[in-house]
Structure 1
Amino acid sequence: MENLVIPKSIAIILDGNGRWAEKRNLPRAMGHKAGCEALERTVEDCVRLGVESLTVYAFSTENWKRSALEVGALMKLLRFYMVKLIDVANKNNVRAVMIGDENRFEPDIRKGIKKLVDATSKNTGMTFAFAINYGGRDEIRRAIDHIVDDVASGVVSKEDISEELISSYLDTRGLPDPDLLIRTSGELRVSNFLLWQIAYSEFYITDTLWPDFDKEELLKAIESYSKRQRRFGGR
């Protein structure tokens, strides 16, 4: 496509797995499995397009409120895909990082996360950040806790506190703020995702359910982004 501007950083709210399964009279767990397969495709598509950073919202702090059956199925999938993503990431020279609070996960899941992050840490291509047990408000709360502790211990002073310093305490430190935020399934809300980081992101909403999201849908989002004039409040 002519005049296509590839965002350096894309964030995606992966929504619609359950509805995708319900439309097909399948268990919701099958929708989450199909969603994982869509994620694999999207990682590879973003690499080929030259995206530098991809951040996806996979499991929120609020998702624990779902039924024990569904949460259990999600944890089972997480265990499986933590291993599979090592091959996907290494094949595509992708560095994987986690954002969120891993403390609520079982020890074997935390071990799997560490293994994925360590196994891909030397890759030099796109950075893939997966948000699990993540909430924007919780992230900011945890950052404030650490800043308060560091002020009390003299590591930083009150006068040092700036937007840049706050950003350095967030889970996304070292990652660029998203240029483009994509939400699937047609919902018109950010659902507690990257509340600090999306201050000037361009939004793209699609009715497509996440398991049906493909390269064509990704290109539609990027095409829409390419037509935007980003002013960052300057005019």
Structure 2
Amino acid sequence: MERNQMRRQLALMRQSFFDQGFLDEQFIQLEELQDDANPNFVEEVVTLYYRDSSRLILNIDQALERNPLDFNKLDNYMHQFKGSSTSIGAKKVKAECTQFREYCKAGNSEGCMRTFQQLKKEYAILKRKLEAYFQQARQAGPLETACRSRIDGRGQIKKQDLTWQNIVIDKLFMFYTLENAAVVLALAAALYRRSSRSCTLLSCVAARLPRAAPARERGHVACSCAF
């Protein structure tokens, strides 16, 4: 298939995610951080999301088997899940997280279980769609910025309107574990370079690292200022 045709199909596929309510503008904010130096930025963040959230799903599944239910623990788990889902723009998943937390506050065990099943369904659907999208994107090559920036037919998100300081740093560290430390820190360094901010940004990153983080990972942050 001709590459231009593949890119048109890719743009239509991507647009359908917004039209059908699977993604919101946060996904576009991640795309705006992607450039030639970091061509797989969005896919890497989404991969971290699914790696981390699978653990949360297991924790919630186990907590829902307890009798009586610990609604505070369930709410804490779902707070984490909602935060990481928000960070990639997973709109439908985020909506189910919100509903689940409302049921936790009301002590409604039936509502929690029903909503969690729907959440897992939306989560799995989005995962399949994004996996297909990224696979096709690798074959077609990057979309033009004008195509990537559009949410719907009514207008485009302008780069200067994005709130850079609110993207990724807090949200990125929802994915942080010692196992994926190098990936998270590399993404943080990419954000620094992409947003042209001072080393204060990466100093904040270093301050957020768990005390258990290896010294070499903290050194990676310091070295990133020289990129």
- The TM-score normalised by the length of structure 1 is 0.28
Say which structure is richer in strand.
1
- The TM-score normalised by the length of structure 2 is 0.29
